[in-house]
Structure 1
Amino acid sequence: MGVTREAAPSPGTSGHGLVRRTVTAALPLYLTMIASSAGGLVDTAVLGRHATASLAAFALTMAVYTPATATVAGAMRGVMPFVAAHDDDPDALLPVVRDGMWLGIATGLLGAAAVCSVPLIGLASGVPQGTLSALGVFPFLLAASVLVAAIGNSATSTLVGLGRSKLVMRAGMTGTAAAVLLSLTLVNGVGPVDGLGLPGAGIAMLASSLISALVAHWGLRRSTVLAGRPLTLGRPHARAVLRLAGVGVPLASTVLIKFAVLGVLSIAAARVGTVSAAAHSIAVSLVSLMFTAAVAIGQATIPLMAPYLKARDVTGLRAGVRAGVKTALGAVVLLGSVLAVLREPVLTLFTHDPAARHQVLALLPLLLAVVCTDALQAVFGFGLIAIRNTVPSLLVFAVCYGVLALAAAPLSSLGGLTALWLALACANALLIVGQAGFFHQRSGRLAAPEATPGRT
């Protein structure tokens, strides 16, 4: 008869303790994301005052830039669980960080190529010549920004994986402050100095990405377990980079699917009418602000779950996800309650059209249902990231959002915005079932052999 092996020690799974640690780690990330979103509004405001053609060119470029940067960021999230696995071993962590930088460069180059193609996309799409002429060097400045941001993401993903979210906040806030200051001065000018218009906005965004990346890499080199170690790139290790990509690329694909289908919903809403299109846009913006909290919480759970993954402690892994679910649900309910109470002044910030405000108010219950279901599915998705198994998320998204995309046009014709948002809530609810089921199944496979009945 064999000898029973002693199980690896694992941390406690106190629910209140995990929730408290999740909140502490997630709050700086959420504040960083909100500040970045608010900073992005400054560009829209100052360009709108500069020239309508500049604002139109800005919107065209951002239609490619936003999903490109989100996709790159999604790919880089795949680095987080590998970093968290070596948070106390700098010798093992260093090659992971270097390989993560190479993954950032590769994905950044792809994203940059997409943004560089904006003039061709606009030409093929029939965009007016006045808008195309206003583009100038702006797409190329933003292409450089995508690449720089990807390199910065390699550092911020490492910091998140190490549980150093305050350093991420420092980098993000510094970059956002620089973007706001430079946009206000470069676009319209100061005093007798003429502004640069759209190129000024591009310079501001590129400088912001560069500053954020420098601060993040400085924090990584000076204030973590890697302090004093050389973080030069070195030569890429193809197998190791592909291993990181095996987790990150499905995440990037999932982000692309979500962006594409939400775009389909926006087109379907526009077919209903101008007011409906405006109301839909406002509702999407409100949901995005609240959903950001779930993304921050999901990222915060990854380093908290790493010790359980090392110990092959399935109970701990599931407790970590439950803590994320409780925290995310509490956050979106709180934010949703604030929105419900302050709905009139909040909606007035978005539009003065009473018809559009009325439609958003009518959608409010569905809007809150959508953000709650989206938040919960996201946390289970981050649970799959933590155990380095992200293909199930891609499959579930492809099925649920694929059906939603096919149904969008008929639903908008039959029931308008209400039908669209009800369908979105149902798709998110199915995502919860799918991602939770896959997480339960795949995490169960990680049980240590000594914990399996019959093995001694």
Structure 2
Amino acid sequence: MRRGQDREILRLAVPAFLALVAEPLFLLSDAAIVGHLGTPELAGLGIAGVVLQTVVGLCVFLAYGTTAGVARRLGAGDRRGALAQGVDGLWLAVVIGAVATVAGVAATGPLVEAFDASPVVTEHATTYLRIAFLGTTPLLLMLAATGVLRGLQDTRTPLVVAVAGNALNIVLNLLLVYGAGPVAGLGLPGSAVGSVLAQVASAAALLVVVVRGARREGASLRPHPAGIRAAGRAGVPLVIRTLTLRAALLVTTYAVTLGAVDATDSAVDLATHQLAITLWTFLAFVLDAIAIAAQAITGRLLGSGDRVGTRAVTRRMVQWGVVSGLVTGVLLAASSPLLGHLFTADPAVRDALVPVLLVAALAQPIAGVVFVLDGVLIGAGDGRYLALGGLLTLVVYAPVVLAVAGGGLFAVWVSFAFLFMGARLGVLVHRARGDAWLVTGVSR
């Protein structure tokens, strides 16, 4: 039985792993390319990246909620209904994306100024963010379409699109940032333009696959207001859950600026934090591969009414999470003295990065279990509990990280890695041990 579980987990997790590794390479490649422009540019990218990831991250329910809903209908034998529900998710992504783009461009100035960085860093962040907001709708369509395919137990197609999109992103960024031949280099704005173009191409590719699948099954492609509203209501708890996670990252970034002594120190700390949080996000996506499998498998098994199988697969995936966290932790600790050289020529940033990465490495096994259980409960449609648990965790974490900000970047990261992630672990383990989340049927 365990071999069968492992094969199913691997069938979904391996392509998801490779796709999720490719996704944060958008950020890693941007950081590597922009980092060689200078420390202020890298710090500006850090602030812009946190804001943009927060906005897009709030809409991650378009992937997670769609995965769970589509998988439940697939488990119940209703493939046409699964695709119809997925199409509603795509239309919801268009609506939210249009609103977020307009609001984001208009509010770019106040959003960046809230970080109270130096004038030069603020200017760079504002320039990048205004352009990057234009890619909001393509990003949300990528989330929704990926959720549909995962719910259909297809993690290979998102992998192909992610790899191709990331390759295009790197080429466009190098060309538009530094220039080549008749193309003049644009500096930091070129990085934002290149990323937006790559996002548009990736979204178009995923939409083609989903639309073709819907037509084969006879599912309507027209917007259905009732279905769109239902998808929006179902996503509210996941929005709250994601909002608490993003709020924790924003509070952490603010704590870094709060603990800086002067403008120079602030730029170094922010640049270091940007690299560390980018690498943390990279590893989080790696560990999240099992969580993606958990969402798809949990939704399908509960849709078919198999509570026993759901519990058994959950135990196995937790074991995978622990092992994966140990492996990524060892690799991060071993490579910590070398990673800074890939992204910046500033020795102050490189020196500050090593101890922060060692803290992050120690927390990887905790993260492995947290991401798996998070995926299981999302797949089960247990969004309300995840929202309440996220609020509780944030209330505990925020005052502590602000209180230790005076201890510098290292103290902030110790608080983030162990208090924040430890609190999440406790909340999720408590829920997983009970039975309240094991609800079967087409919908929760």
Determine if the alignment matches structure 1 residue 179 to structure 2 residue 169: yes
Asked whether the equivalents of residues 68 and 295 of structure 2 are also in contact (C-alpha less than 8 Å), the reply is yes
Could you say what secondary structure the match of 1:291 adopts? helix
Equivalent residue for 1:292, pick from 278, 285, 290: 285
Residue of structure 2 equivalent to 1:11 = none
Determine if the alignment matches structure 1 residue 330 to structure 2 residue 319: no
Distance verdict in 2 for CA 1:376–1:135, change over 3 Å? closer
- Deviation track 1:269-324 (CA, whole Å, cap 9, x = no partner) reads 54696677666555444433322222221011122123320243332222222222
RMSD: 3.5
Deviation at 1:66, TM superposition (A): 2.1
Distance verdict in 2 for CA 1:395–1:340, change over 3 Å? same
Residue of structure 1 equivalent to 2:431 = 438
Equivalent residue for 1:304, pick from 282, 286, 297: 297
1:122-161 alignment, distance < 5 Å: 122=112, 139-161=129-151
Residue of structure 1 equivalent to 2:397 = 404
Distance verdict in 2 for CA 1:356–1:180, change over 3 Å? closer
1:182-331 alignment, distance < 5 Å: 182-222=172-212, 224=213, 227=216, 229=218, 232-237=221-226, 239-267=229-257, 270=260, 282-331=275-324
Letter of the structure 2 residue corresponding to residue 319 of structure 1:
A
Residue of structure 1 equivalent to 2:19 = 32
Determine if the alignment matches structure 1 residue 107 to structure 2 residue 100: no
Letter of the structure 1 residue corresponding to residue 178 of structure 2:
N
Deviation at 1:151, TM superposition (A): 1.7
Q: Distance in 2 between matches of 1:439 and 1:247?
A: 18
- Deviation track 1:234-280 (CA, whole Å, cap 9, x = no partner) reads 23215423443245423432332332343245346546966776665
Letter of the structure 1 residue corresponding to residue 94 of structure 2:
I
Q: Distance in 2 between matches of 1:442 and 1:103?
A: 32
Asked whether the equivalents of residues 131 and 192 of structure 2 are also in contact (C-alpha less than 8 Å), the reply is yes
Q: Distance in 1 between matches of 2:116 and 2:196?
A: 28
Equivalent residue for 2:111, pick from 121, 128, 141: 121
Determine if the alignment matches structure 1 residue 62 to structure 2 residue 49: yes
Give the percent of matched residue pairs that are identical in Structure 1 and Structure 2.
21
Q: Distance in 2 between matches of 1:390 and 1:340?
A: 34
Q: Distance in 2 between matches of 1:321 and 1:271?
A: 47
How many residue pairs get matched? 434
- Deviation track 1:190-210 (CA, whole Å, cap 9, x = no partner) reads 224323444433332221111
Distance verdict in 2 for CA 1:319–1:262, change over 3 Å? farther
Determine if the alignment matches structure 1 residue 169 to structure 2 residue 177: no
Q: Distance in 2 between matches of 1:136 and 1:417?
A: 27
Q: Distance in 2 between matches of 1:354 and 1:49?
A: 13
The range that moved more, 132-141 or 181-190, is 132-141
Letter of the structure 1 residue corresponding to residue 283 of structure 2:
M
Could you say what secondary structure the match of 1:39 adopts? helix
Determine if the alignment matches structure 1 residue 77 to structure 2 residue 61: no
Could you say what secondary structure the match of 1:85 adopts? helix
- Deviation track 1:108-129 (CA, whole Å, cap 9, x = no partner) reads 2343245312124345666666
Distance verdict in 2 for CA 1:164–1:444, change over 3 Å? closer
Deviation at 1:18, TM superposition (A): 1.8
Q: Distance in 1 between matches of 2:302 and 2:282?
A: 31
Residue of structure 2 equivalent to 1:92 = 81
Distance verdict in 2 for CA 1:188–1:354, change over 3 Å? closer
Letter of the structure 2 residue corresponding to residue 191 of structure 1:
G
Letter of the structure 1 residue corresponding to residue 389 of structure 2:
V
Q: Distance in 1 between matches of 2:317 and 2:352?
A: 32
Could you say what secondary structure the match of 2:24 adopts? helix
Q: Distance in 2 between matches of 1:213 and 1:228?
A: 22
Could you say what secondary structure the match of 1:72 adopts? coil
Asked whether the equivalents of residues 64 and 114 of structure 1 are also in contact (C-alpha less than 8 Å), the reply is no
Could you say what secondary structure the match of 1:404 adopts? helix
- Deviation track 1:49-72 (CA, whole Å, cap 9, x = no partner) reads 668876665455333212212222
Deviation at 1:397, TM superposition (A): 2.1
Letter of the structure 2 residue corresponding to residue 300 of structure 1:
A
Deviation at 1:155, TM superposition (A): 0.8
Taking structure 1 as the reference length, the TM-score comes to: 0.81
Could you say what secondary structure the match of 2:141 adopts? helix
Structure of larger gyration radius: 1
Deviation at 1:76, TM superposition (A): 3.3
Distance verdict in 2 for CA 1:196–1:84, change over 3 Å? same
Asked whether the equivalents of residues 178 and 208 of structure 1 are also in contact (C-alpha less than 8 Å), the reply is yes
Q: Distance in 2 between matches of 1:343 and 1:45?
A: 16
Equivalent residue for 1:370, pick from 363, 374, 379: 363
Distance verdict in 2 for CA 1:164–1:434, change over 3 Å? same
- Deviation track 1:395-427 (CA, whole Å, cap 9, x = no partner) reads 222222322210123334469725751564143
Q: Distance in 2 between matches of 1:416 and 1:152?
A: 34
Asked whether the equivalents of residues 81 and 387 of structure 1 are also in contact (C-alpha less than 8 Å), the reply is yes
